[in-house]
Chains A and B, each alone.
Chain A
Amino acid sequence: MEVPFTSSGAMSRAQYAFVRKVESATSPSEADQHILSEIEVVRRQLADPGLSLNQCKECLVILLYCAMNVSILPPGGMEFALPHAVHLAESGMTTQDKRLGYQFCCEMMPESHELQLLLVNTLRKDIESSQVPRICLALEALIHSPFEDVIPAVQSRLYDLLSHNSPDVRRRAVAALSALSCQEPSLLANATDNLMKRLKDSQPVVISAALIAAVHLREVRHASTDRLTKTVNALLLPSWDPNLDKTEYWFLLRVLGALAMFRPTEGNLRLILRIIEWTVNVESVSHALLFQCFQLISTRRAEITAIVRTSSHPSPILHIRSLISSTDPNDQYLVLACMECLDAATWAGTTPEIPGVLDKWEVERIMGLLESTDAAIRRKTLKVLKSADANIVESYHTRILQNIPEASFVEELSEAALRALEIIDAMSGTDGAAYATRLQSTLAAFEDRNENVVLERVVEQVLTKFRTSEDECRLASLTVMLDQLSDMSTRIGATSMVILTALIVEYFTKVGIPARKLLQGLATRLSVYPSSVKDACLLAMVRLAAESDVPTDVLDAVRGVSETSGRYIRRRCEQFVTLSAQRETVRSAVAQAKSSSLPDFLLALEASIASPASMSSRLPSSAFRPCSPSASRNFSASKLRYDAYEAPRPHSRLLRPTSPRSTGSSEYARRSPSVLTSPGSEGLALHEDPLARTVTAGDLTLAAGDPDLIRAAERGSKNQGELSNSVPDLLVDDEVSSMQGSDLIALESPFVSEPADLGSSVSSPDFETIWSDMERTNLRGWCDFSIDAVVRRLQGLQLAMRVIAADQLPFEGDLKIIISAEAGTLDQFRGAVLRLRESDDESCLWRLRCDDVQLRMQLKRLLSE
């Protein structure tokens, strides 16, 4: 950014310097770092009691910029600035000041926030002001963030403002009433007479706002709907003039938009047909107007067909024929969207009374759009052709199935399958059962080419379709889809099976198919799939095990698969067998999962197995794990109460002088109590957006292959074998007390967050504790280089780190690394834990947990490069 301060238009040098720093950042993580530090600076500035309004304004502008540009907001978001924004809105000397105060509140204040009450009086005062700008500001704030508590304070004034001299106030008053009527419906209903007047206002801008309010009243079926219908219909004729130019047609657009919600009279329908004709012939007029006309007549299809049938007016499609030959994709979209608005009878020649209006070449051109590279155009074409003749679409579907690419061309195979999915989507409409039946046959056709290939984009597409379907449609689809598992003779390919496993985990509770049947269906087929699909199947079976006893034949089948599979699947099978006897563990995972999707279920299951609370109550064996973090945490509570001031044992101090886990977690607790006390709190939610992880087929298989579960299952089975051994109790107590002592000293020490200490002092049990503590910031992926190369790269970061060998506990088999970020003040402690597992091909699987945003992004980049 080479613009000097004087030309930049920045509000202040501070803003200029900060924005320049962020804009010049070489990476998103660096920009985030600047922003987060600036938020801290502003936070301190705002805490200064001598802060002037001007300084406050500058701070708020900077915070708005920060909120827009930062990847992840700090815990608590911008809440700390809200009181200042409310104050600025109240005490601002100029309109600009007040505007910024209101804007900050509108952008940053959550719904139903307690500070909204403080705004009530400010809004009331501004709305009762004699200055138009202040009134407009308050009205805009009401429109953007309407809330119930403000209604009694502004209601009567709002009614008065409907007749204000300024059209800017009148239109905003109408819009504010509409917005507030969502909270209190009678508010707008009581202003019906005044609204009628505004529909006949001298200013089009006011009428536009009144039309929106009229639509609101129409939606709630207010008694005045008939009067409104008449008034809105009366607006059409005066709003159109054949001499309108492009700067004047906007009002007509608004009237047409509103009329689509009311019932246009027959006279107006004919007028609209004339407007369509005019629109096409006048070059300067927007296509939006043409489309709006078609959308309007789509609400009266039968009447339009009747008008065309009586030959009193040609088919409206006749007027847009010229656009069919256009190569502009927006024009193509427009033509198709317009055709979709009419009954095919008016243009396709499907009835003897109305001849077809398109020439052969025009029909061919539309057919050609089925091959468009634009999915939106293809979908529209399918709908249009289906409305004209469903057989055309059927035969197109058949053609695709007859020309399925060879299995070796996976990308082409996937693309063709996606096209086929578009077709069955259009063919089935809202008929869920028909969709599922067609989906099965389509997938079967593609799986005939190679039934072991998982077409990931197809899986994503189908799952998205299920998620966005209406409930009734989805239930019908699910029943048909899952029912095929019960029929043991049906062959199910890999792609279909991955879809089925995801559907089972996500929607099992919504369908009435018994879990036993599904378990048997999965278990019987388990042996034929590749490992990644077996993985997903076993996970779905774990989910089903929570709902039903697992039949013996299922267990036998899984054991059989276990014997013939590699180590990885063998572990997964063992996990299933173990968890099938621990239904509570699985149920707890289901209850705690962020969503019902398969990856979230897996994460919750993993957490549930690792969680001390859940495990200690269900698995007595957990107490026998010598270095178990769950055990240490359980005991540490009592130790803290009774031995809080016990001197630390020298032995422990030397061996593990500081527990990074305890210092880290205590710091986090101090900074944001909600993080530890309330995992579901908003501050945390900002960090932990489940949608940041898109559920892809890759995720499904990767998630299904998480070695944590294998380890947990192994540990579980090992513990079961150790039930008779009760010796380690004392050992655990001893370990914990020594750790506790260290923790207490560490908390007091000003040096505890020094990375050098951390790096030199971490012992293996602490790695597991940190790992568990940071379970919500989980990242993983594959490195294309070896573990040695990763370690060398990490060393290049110049951060303190400690490496725990792969053959040491915990997580045996994984190389474990604890990384500390640069030392800062005590409340800026940052760190990360990394696990690396080598594969045969000189690459490695990495899993990273890190609560610090910058460090996390830095490490992720390093590992992904």
Chain B
Amino acid sequence: MIHAVLIFNTSGVPRLTKFYSTVHHSPQTLVQKIFSLICTRPAGLCNFLDAPELEEFLGKKQREDERLRVVYRSYATLHFVFLVDAAESELGILDLIQVFVESLDRAFENVCELDLVFHFDEVHHILAEVIQGGLVLETNLDEIDRSVKQAAQARKTSYASANPLSLGGSSMGQRSAGLQTPLGWLTGKLTGVGTI
């Protein structure tokens, strides 16, 4: 199971926090704890780490397949972090992070950190197309993209029907149109990732 999905920048500022399990203590402390685990890792290490010390936040795991792991990937100034138990394949999660990032990229048209700052609610919605209740709902990038666009279209339609005189609601594409990618997102993505 996926217990949490977190995005934070290289300064540890959270850009998205989503918990699928009850956190027994302050979520902010958990985020900081995970950030401290990630940011102290030197380059050249793998993208997985066992994190038994996090069990105190999510309840003690008795079974071996419930032991917690952190799977993360860094893109430009952002760390994408998934907290999972051993029932999830860490390699699968690593690919899932890539799928999630590419979904964001398609939805926001060259996504950058700023999109996450102003549209974290949209990021939540895109994440909901990928993960529901801590389980992977969809892993096909095209399928996720289709659902996200469909949802955006549905919102637009719904907005138009609720406001008959309007010229149409906002969509994610418009919101990010013309916005620079100050963090060199694509450069980071192309140079900083593993295989897919």
Interface residues of A (CB under 8 A from B): 1, 3, 7-11, 15-16, 19, 23, 61, 64-65, 68-73, 93-96, 99-100, 103, 111, 131-133, 136, 140, 143-144, 146, 168, 171-172, 175, 178-179, 204-205, 208-209, 212, 246-247, 250-251, 253-254, 257, 286-288, 290-292, 295, 328-330, 332-334, 337, 373-377, 379, 464-465, 467-468, 470-471, 685-686, 689-692
Contact, CB under 8 Å: B120 / A689: no
Contact, CB under 8 Å: B120 / A9: no
In the bound complex, CA of A56 to CA of B90 (Å) = 40
In addition to A3-B179, A468-B60, A685-B25, 16 A-B residue pairs with Cβ atoms within 8 Å of each other are A19-B118, A144-B20, A175-B132, A175-B135, A205-B138, A208-B136, A212-B135, A253-B139, A257-B92, A286-B91, A288-B92, A291-B90, A333-B48, A333-B90, A373-B42, A467-B60
In the bound complex, CA of A68 to CA of B44 (Å) = 30
Write the chain A residue with the least CB distance to B143: A205
In the bound complex, CA of A3 to CA of B178 (Å) = 11
In the bound complex, CA of A95 to CA of B47 (Å) = 38
Write the chain A residue with the least CB distance to B135: A212
- The answer to whether the Cβ of B77 comes within 8 Å of any Cβ in the partner chain is no
Say yes or no: A247-B117 contact (C-beta < 8 A), given A140-B128, A691-B57: no
In the bound complex, CA of A691 to CA of B147 (Å) = 39
In the bound complex, CA of A209 to CA of B130 (Å) = 12
Could you list 26 examples of A-B contacts with CB < 8 Å? A9-B179, A15-B118, A16-B118, A70-B28, A95-B154, A95-B159, A144-B132, A146-B133, A172-B132, A175-B133, A208-B136, A212-B135, A250-B139, A257-B92, A286-B95, A288-B94, A329-B45, A330-B91, A375-B50, A376-B45, A379-B50, A467-B52, A467-B55, A468-B60, A471-B62, A685-B25
Residues in B neighbouring A68, C-beta threshold 8 A: 14-17, 120
**Which of B26, B50, B155, B169 interacts with A692 by CB under 8 Å?**
B26
Contact, CB under 8 Å: B117 / A19: yes
Contact, CB under 8 Å: A286 / B196: yes
Instruction: Give the 3 A-B CB pairs with smallest separation, nearest first.
Output: A9-B175, A329-B46, A93-B162
**Which of A103, A133, A140, A373 interacts with B158 by CB under 8 Å?**
A133
Say yes or no: A291-B176 contact (C-beta < 8 A), given A94-B158, A330-B194, A373-B42: no
Contacting A at CB under 8 A, from B9-46, are: 13-17, 20, 22, 25-26, 28-29, 33, 42, 44-46
Among the interface residues B16, B133, B163, which one has the most CB atoms of the partner chain A within 10 A? Answer: B133
Residues in A neighbouring B44, C-beta threshold 8 A: 329, 373-374
Residues in B neighbouring A334, C-beta threshold 8 A: 91
Contact, CB under 8 Å: B155 / A133: yes
Contact, CB under 8 Å: B114 / A3: yes
Smallest Cβ distance from B163 to chain A, in angstroms?
A: 8
- The answer to whether the Cβ of B187 comes within 8 Å of any Cβ in the partner chain is no
Residues in A neighbouring B56, C-beta threshold 8 A: 467, 691
Contact, CB under 8 Å: A64 / B121: yes
Residues in B neighbouring A333, C-beta threshold 8 A: 46, 48, 90
Complex interface bits, B89-127 against A, C-beta within 8 A gives 1, otherwise 0: 111101100000000000000000011011111001100
Residues in B neighbouring A379, C-beta threshold 8 A: 50
In the bound complex, CA of A751 to CA of B142 (Å) = 64
- The answer to whether the Cβ of B195 comes within 8 Å of any Cβ in the partner chain is yes
Contact, CB under 8 Å: A254 / B139: yes
Smallest Cβ distance from B86 to chain A, in angstroms?
A: 10
